[in-house]
Amino acid sequence: MRWTGGVVVVAVVLAAAGWFGVRALRRWGTTAATREQLSVLRADPILDVEPPGSTLTSRNEHAGRTALGVFHPTEISLAFDVNGELTTALDAFRTAAVPNGWRLVRTRCSRIDQSVVVSFDKAQPGFTASLDLVANSAAASDSGRPALLVQLAAQEPGTPPTVPETGTEGAPRGDPTCLRGLNPSDPALQRPSRVPGDAAALCSLLSLARARTAVPAVTQVAELSDPPGCSYIDDDRTSFVGFVVRNAVEPRAKYEDRQYAPTVDRRFFLLEESITRPAGAWVDTRLGPVELTVIADGARPSLGEDEVLRLARLLAGPAQR
């Protein structure tokens, strides 16, 4: 009996040691400040949202810590399998965010990747919190089922405030509902049936004289190979200006993922170089779609937004009536 009792005592001691060990492991490398951040995030009402038609499959959280010289921020993540409509599940969190103090920063909806990412931030006592909502269709999810990830995190001290993105307002990728009613046979999701083809065909779309009506500094046109293209440059190296036109061989929706801003004419749109300036344009020409790429002058594109728009209109040709 005494021996058996000893086993029980040892078992209790080991269990207690294991419990304290787990607690110690969870706290290892954390600080009072990061543990307080975790408490603040745990209390956020966004975690109380119950998305319709969804099942919570995992919840992970940890206070910020430094491990092996790398800082891991305070974070809480929720993962859901979505049995209902994916956009409806996403909207449950998205529509609850702003009334609970979250500021919309960025929306990305990709019909090619079949995923949506909506990002927010919120000022908290002593730190800024971020909220990312990531919705993946069955085709984009690792589980093979529609899935929703909700991730709250504390940004590192000193992180500059995020500038809310406004350039994509109204653009397909800025629409968080772009996956609703997604039709796999949509032509925008398919590779184009034809493109201009060789360099001569690409150069035929825009003569030097017409190019100069949009960008007077251009003085030379040259055919390019591998891949085919047509370059338009000036010969004054003191003020370099130029752009290249190539076949746009990917589906239109893939270029829409890089769309800088919507345009009234659906035959063309600007492509993003940053959230403040374009890097070129996608244009549907009489011979098929092309991509116009601005040649950079050092770290900056050599053409402005107005010039790129004028070139896109010229490549698209007269509007159909």
Cα–Cα distance, 163 to 210 (Å, whole number)? 38
CATH classification of the domain holding 90: 3.40.1000
Long-range contacts of 264-269 (CB under 8 A, 24+ apart): 265/313, 265/316, 265/319, 267/316, 267/319, 268/312, 268/313, 268/315, 268/316, 269/171, 269/312
Residues 242 and 121 in one domain: no
The DSSP secondary structure of 230-262, one letter per residue, reads EEEE-S-TTS--EEEEEE--S-HHHHHTTEEE-
Residues 210 and 290 in one domain: yes
pLDDT digit string, tens, across residues 6-37? 544 444 444 444 444 444 445 557 889 889 99
Number of domains in the chain: 2
Q: How many CB atoms lie within 10 A of CB 280?
A: 27
In degrees and rounded to multiples of 5, residue 211 shows phi and psi of: -60, -35
pLDDT digit string, tens, across residues 53-72? 999 999 999 998 877 767 78
pLDDT digit string, tens, across residues 258-293? 887 777 888 999 998 655 567 899 999 999 999 999
In degrees and rounded to multiples of 5, residue 85 shows phi and psi of: -80, 125
pTM of the predicted model as reported, rounded to 2 decimal places: 0.75
The DSSP secondary structure of 52-95, one letter per residue, reads TTEEEEEEEEE--EEETTEEE--EEEEEEEESS-HHHHHHHHHH
120, 139, 174: which is the final residue of a domain? 174
Q: Which one, of 245, 250, 242, lies nearest residue 202 by Cα?
A: 245
Cα–Cα distance, 102 to 190 (Å, whole number)? 37
Range of the domain at 204: 187-316
What pLDDT, on the 0 to 100 scale, is given for residue 17? 43
Residues 101 and 167 in one domain: yes
